[in-house]
Amino acid sequence: MKKTIRMALFIIILSITLTPVESMAFTVPDEIRQKANELQLDAESAILINADTGDILYEKNINQKEYPASITKLMTMLLAFENCNMDETITFSRNAVFSIEPGSSHIGIDQGEEITVDQAMYAIMLQSANEVSNGVAEHIDGSLEAFASHMTQRAKELGAVNTNFVNANGLHDENHYTTAYDMALIARELLKYPHFKDILSCTYYEIPPTNIQSETRYLHGQTQLIKEASAFYYQYCEGGKTGFTDQAGNTLVAYAEKDGTEIISVVLKSTGYGEYTDTIKLFDYGFENFKTQNICSAGSLCQNTTAVEEGLFKDETFSVAGNYASDITVTLPLNSSLSDIKTNVNMLENLSVPLSRGDVIGSVSFVLNGEEIGKTDIISADDIGTQTAPVMAGTQNKKAIDIKFAALLVLLSAAAVFLIRLAVIKIRYEHRRKKRRQRLKYYRETNFQNIELSSKSRKYR
């Protein structure tokens, strides 16, 4: 039992030691925070984050629970990306089609009608189709209730712990709520799927005739930020998802990218066209004050160091090339530069070979204005003082034999060969002596008989 506990603790400590940390918590400088306080948003709660790093650039009541309305559908789309192929066919049930509120957003899907998951995704994003969201939910989990539970569980896995979903479309329910921070986490996760960007930026899409509908459906996007003719057009906006109910007010999640910096805004419970004016204010604030910077890349050279191999008679020193273990991308104030970042390299003491490629040999941290903004491990770039053996199925490479032990084996083997050779020489010598004694005895006996015969011969003459 104690051995098991020690092993578990070792694994935990090892995982903490070896896991590269890509970025640290970001603190908005005071002079920029003052600009944030002057934004005066209409929304009850709002957030702006860096899409690459997750750093919070602006916040207003970000953990306050609000009704999301149709931005709920971003979670529905995320589960579709995670659980479906885009060419799968959805067949709509009566419950999926007719359980939505009369007059709510839809594209006129009928019971038994079939469309692909990909077509459903465009219908959800562009037309906010509630019955299509229901069809996706049943396609994935078999029922609307099971899918709602799936949504909530997946949100919590992402860190959205103040969210509870009871439907796939966002139609009002007192137990259906989220926060600006939680929606930012969900929106950021969607960026892992490149096809989401295609759907996000689309303003027009056609669904061709289906097994039931003989006419083409023409879908028009609702997000004003990407329509050039709109008063709320924003040049750098990539798209977004709107929402509205009487209880939720106007909600909007939007994405924008400029000069390599991508940001995500969430505004909840705005009035009038406040969701658009608030989002534009947030985008301008983000691009005017922040930038995204890659400060090191995984696999690139960090530093050379030395390692010692203990020999039988003397130690030998090896040069070891160290690489960064991971990419580090950070948020920086717009007026800062890489020269402002201090790099602290800490190599492990008493480093010894053999070393395998990927072994941790140190760490590096990056500091800006006294604050650590990033940290990662330094790993060996090559195999040093060892040879990589083939890996058998279900096994691992054996550790290289210690040099002193190998030397001892060589000495013992040489001594054994010497003793065996001495024994062989002695056996051969004794064998030759025995044969000489036998020949001498035979010679003497033969000569004695010859003398006796000669004597008798002379006697009887």
pLDDT surpassing 60 at residue 110: yes
Q: What is the DSSP string of 188-246?
A: HHHTTSHHHHHHHT-SEEEE---SS--S-EEEE---GGG-TTSTT--TTEEEEEEEEET
- Choose between 436 and 52: higher pLDDT: 52
Q: Encoding tokens for residue 175?
A: 């137990």
Q: What is the pLDDT of residue 23?
A: 44
The pLDDT value given to residue 202: 97
Decide: residue 420, CB within 10 A, 0-12 exposed, 13-18 middle, 19+ buried: exposed
Average pLDDT of the chain is: 86
Each residue's pLDDT tens digit, 372-385: 888 999 998 888 87
Domain ranges of the chain: 19-290, 297-387
pLDDT higher than threshold 90 for residue 333: yes
- CB count, 10 Å around CB of 431? 10
Q: What is the pLDDT of residue 76?
A: 98
Q: Compute the average pLDDT of residues 39-54.
A: 97
pLDDT > 50? residue 2 = no
Confidence of residue 164 (pLDDT cuts 50, 70, 90): very high
Q: Which range scores top for mean pLDDT: 27-36, 272-281, 448-457?
A: 272-281
List CB contacts of 411: < 8 A, sequence separation 6 or more.
none
Please state the pTM of the whole predicted model: 0.77
Q: Rounded mean pLDDT of 228-251? A: 97
- How does DSSP classify residue 82? H
Comparing C-alpha atoms, which of 272, 241, 245 is closest to residue 254?
241
Residue scoring higher pLDDT (385 or 178): 178
Say whether pLDDT at 400 is over 70.
no
* Position 7 pLDDT exceeds 90: no
pLDDT at 275 over 60: yes
- Look at residue 370 in the predicted model and tell me its pLDDT: 86
CB 380 within 8 A of CB 355: yes
pLDDT for res 350: 79
Mean pLDDT value of segment 418-429: 81
- CATH architecture, domain 297-387: Sandwich (2.60)
Q: What is the pLDDT, as a whole number, of residue 1?
A: 41
| Residue 135 reports pLDDT greater than 70 | yes
Which fold, 19-290? Beta-lactamase (3.40.710)
Whether pLDDT at 168 is above 70: yes
